[in-house]
Amino acid sequence: MFEIDSVHISYNIIRISSHFILRAVSWLNFTLPGNPKNICDILLAFLGRYAYIFETMKEYDEKIPDPKEIEKEISEFIAKKFGGSVKIASHFTLPQEMTIEKSDKSAPKKKKINFNLKPEELVSYLDQYIVKQDNAKAVLATKICTHFNRIKRLEDAADDADELVGGIKSNVLMIGPTGVGKTYIIKLIAKKIGAPFVKGDATKFSETGYVGGDVEDLVRDLVREADDDIEAAQYGIIYIDEIDKIASSRNLIGADVSRTGVQRALLKPMEETDIEMKVPHDPISMIQEIDQFRKTGKRNSRAVNTKNILFIMSGAFNELGAIIQKRISSQSIGFSASISSPQEMNDILRHVSSEDLIEMGFESEFVGRLPVRTVFEKLTRDDLYEILKNPNNPIILGKKLDFAAYGINAKFDDDALRLLAEHAFTENTGARGLVSAVEKALLVFEKKLPSTHIKKFPITKSVIADPKKSLETLLASPNDPSHAEMFNNLLKREKEFIEYYLESNKNDLSDKHSVTLTPLRINLSARFYADHIMDIGKVIKRIKFYCDEIKKMELDFFKNHNINIVLEDDAIDFILEQFIASTMNFEVFYDQFVARMTKDFKDGLALLREKTQQKRFFISKESLLDPVSFINKQIKAELSSF
């Protein structure tokens, strides 16, 4: 096994070039334009580049000539050809003058983490997206929140009095069958907390120094995800999947660089170590280093400390159940029976211990660095249906987007979702089977319908049960009123379900998005969801945005007319309802409504302010519906006070 090193190549090229240039210059007899000046410029540029390569090669203890020796040789050559009238005056930075920039330890720490989530808040967020897995959500939310809140507490402290020597990070090991949401839950958490996040598969890595991916590359990828901000990357999350695949093979003779070797390579990063951003075996990294030195004459030492990087690992661990059962049965009576159901297997896995993981082929030091463990449950048919029914589910939303790309509005019936869940369950791949089940059933429609005039597609149980026959029926009578009626029924049911969902999660969604979900806003949000393809979170954000923009009408009215109005909540909801019922762009709608308010209220409120000296006017929904009556009532109320 060997590797090609760009620095060694550069050195060999320079070693050959030094003699080649001298001989070439002599052979050309200086017939190049500009004679001595051009030749000296060429040699000087070569000498400068050699100096940078020389300094890098010093790290490898290579026995190569000093740049000053090369400079002397070239100077003698120039003097011989041109006499004493031409000399080389080197203007580049020699290696002896080089300095290495290091981070200033005395400089005040720049605060990089702004975390204030509580475990229950994170669990509530995950509940909106993840079906089942209550124990896993609780464990992950608690340990991740504790991890980042501890970091924040240390940053806020005036000194390091609370920092423990030899503290152990809450690195997490997730155990569970494929397709139960292990990767999805970590991505959701990383998105929620705003931490840099990278994912890697354990099977793609080898021990440092061997051909294959290097586990340290994950840390470097984390820096890239943080937009090259090393400080931010040091508070990131590294997620490694298929970790069970690096359990050592007991019958292997010799170095196991892709299994035990990877475990050993992960030990230091999982605890605390400094990972250099410069990669000796990476040509691009070395060229960047040389270029940086050429520009500044200095070398920047860039390293990532892994002390606060959280490592989360997961795997199916198919062999683990038998190992646990064997251990339990040898200790107790009554556990020797074979496992007969997924639920029994899940119960068995909950008894996992370090001893079982070591028995499976993991190093004890590696297991010790994963103190937090959680087991994911296998998904049932009902669980798969709940995933499809979830309004934040990316599978159904994604398929709606596929049809919407051709201007086709697709709606799913509950019975169709149940049948899709049944098909997915038979594949025994968890939630991953849902994607293939949906694609298999709807591919013929996705191929044919874009070439027709059909724009409304009700997806019923019969569509999933027999796609080809359903397509033939639909194409034979595309204008059949029963299709439109069926679509409208599905649209109505979808709105009703979203209203129920929003009402059930009203408090959490209101707190999360800082918006009051009034009954009318819940109804409008459900209508907006049905008319647009986006998850509930984006719908609420959009509704909040429109409410905030409508509230700005108060400021615009004051700036334009010097009249202070206050829109009450029912007025804001009414304006919002008017917009959602329209087909206009919001900016156009906003301008038109402001013009309407100016026409309806400007003169009357100005007169009212002049006669009554009133400074603020509260505008309700009733006022917007009948501005004349509103003005008259205000005048009568003022006159009756005299």
Q: How many CA atoms lie within 13 A of 49 on its CB side?
A: 15
Considering all CA atoms of the chain, what is the largest pairwise distance in Å, rounded to the nearest integer?
114
CB 603 within 8 A of CB 551: no
When mean pLDDT is compared across 16-20, 26-30, 76-80, 605-609, the lowest value belongs to 26-30
**90-99, 244-253, 292-301, 305-314, range with greatest mean pLDDT:** 305-314
Whole-number pLDDT of residue 284: 63
Mean per-residue pLDDT, 303-310: 89
% pLDDT > 90, the chain:
40
Q: How confident is the model at residue 409 (pLDDT cuts 50, 70, 90)?
A: very high
User: What's the chain's average pLDDT?
Assistant: 79
Q: How confident is the model at residue 237 (pLDDT cuts 50, 70, 90)?
A: very high
More reliable by pLDDT, 507 or 297: 507
3-class DSSP state of 305: strand
Mean per-residue pLDDT, 602-626: 88
Calculate ∠ Cα 617-619-625, nearest 5°. Answer: 140
Mean per-residue pLDDT, 4-23: 46
Please say if the pLDDT value at position 98 is more than 60: no
Token pair for residue 195? 């931490």
CB 172 within 8 A of CB 313: yes
Q: How confident is the model at residue 417 (pLDDT cuts 50, 70, 90)?
A: very high
Whole-number pLDDT of residue 100: 45
pLDDT in tens, 480-533: 999 999 999 999 999 999 999 999 988 888 888 888 899 999 999 999 999 999
Whole-number pLDDT of residue 91: 46
Token pair for residue 413? 């019936």
When mean pLDDT is compared across 163-177, 248-262, 411-425, the lowest value belongs to 248-262
3-class DSSP state of 268: helix
pLDDT in tens, 328-346: 876 655 444 555 455 566 7
When mean pLDDT is compared across 127-131, 531-535, 591-595, 613-617, the lowest value belongs to 613-617
Whole-number pLDDT of residue 594: 93
Mean per-residue pLDDT, 612-623: 88
Mean per-residue pLDDT, 466-481: 92
Whole-number pLDDT of residue 50: 56
Whole-number pLDDT of residue 107: 44
3-class DSSP state of 128: coil
Q: How confident is the model at residue 5 (pLDDT cuts 50, 70, 90)?
A: very low
Please say if the pLDDT value at position 584 is more than 80: yes
3-class DSSP state of 100: strand
Please say if the pLDDT value at position 229 is more than 90: no
Distance CA 159, CA 168 (A): 20
Whole-number pLDDT of residue 590: 94
3-class DSSP state of 175: strand
**15-19, 137-141, 193-197, range with greatest mean pLDDT:** 137-141
Whole-number pLDDT of residue 109: 47
Distance CA 429, CA 52 (A): 55
Whole-number pLDDT of residue 521: 93
pLDDT in tens, 364-400: 899 999 999 999 988 999 999 999 999 999 999 999 9
Residues in the chain: 642
Distance CA 416, CA 461 (A): 4
